Chain A
Amino acid sequence: MPAPATTYERIVYKNPSEYHYMKVRLEFQDGGVGLNAAQFKQLLISALKELFGEVDAALPLDVLTYEEKTLSAILRICSSGLVKLWSSLTLLGSYKGKNCAFRVIQVSPFLLALSGNSRELVLN
């Protein structure tokens, strides 16, 4: 008895996520500098504006979480602006005269991936 003809349907999933999420930490050379959330966002936007101008300083950038003690944050940027944001964070050198650097810890198109990091896994 011949097998019934099956119809196949092909679904291609091409990463339709519009946003990328970055976990970053700000390090100061001397330490002991505090920023609140608004100053942190102002610093990000001024970094974008210096390298890419006013047009890209208006990219839809969000600071989802911010911890003032460790100066670490989770940022959300639309996928077309990820390269611009990352390069402007790399080239940011100082805040109010004090040397600082951004350390990018994790980047992912899915927010859930930022919750667990296999580098920080503790095996016992």
Chain B
Amino acid sequence: MVRFKHRYLLCEVVSDDPRCRLTLEDRVLGTLVRDTIARVHGTFGAAACSIGFAVRYLNAYTGIVLLRCRKEFYRLVWSALPFITYLENKGHRYPCFLNTLHVGGTIRTCQKFLIQYNRRQLLILLQNCTDEGEREAIQKSVTKSCLLEEESAGEELSDSGGEETAEPME
């Protein structure tokens, strides 16, 4: 069949600084990844990867990024991600790194993985949290997610309980 095949890289931005995630913007991240590929893989890599390259999804609260690239050159993009060491926005530089969680062929498979990953992260947060109010909020989110799983609604979880306790995770 004649169509352009892509690979979707699901990554997480990990940083010590809590302000780093809030300054995430898709254009800033897109130019940062393109410049890093040009540095690491040269003119050839920059040209090959930037044809089908796009930042498809960005969540500033959880730091999840979905990058798209052509199937023939996804390895060049993937190998350039560890060379990203900082995020620069409005003159402020935050050290961070990109952790690749999943590589999928379609957005739907990445979404399914992200839902399962978020459920597992909620349980880990429940174990690590110290405050009683936060514990109740997370338990409520966990039961809600279990109900949703039984209903098999298949919608993505954006949990507010997880955002407040984002710091103890890192």
Contacts and interface: CB of A to CB of B under 8 A. Distances in A.
Interface of A: 48-56
Contacts of A50: 42-43
Interface stretch (B33-41, B96-104, B117-125, B139-147): B33-41
Nearest to B42: A53
B63 interface: no
A80 to B, nearest CB: 15
Interface residues of B, number: 9
A55 B40 CA distance: 6
Interface string B34-56: 00001111111100000000000
B40 A54 contact: yes
A55 B79 contact: yes
Nearest to B38: A53
B57 to A, nearest CB: 27
Contacts of B79: 55
Contacts of B40: 53-55
Most buried by B among A49, A52, A53, A54: A53
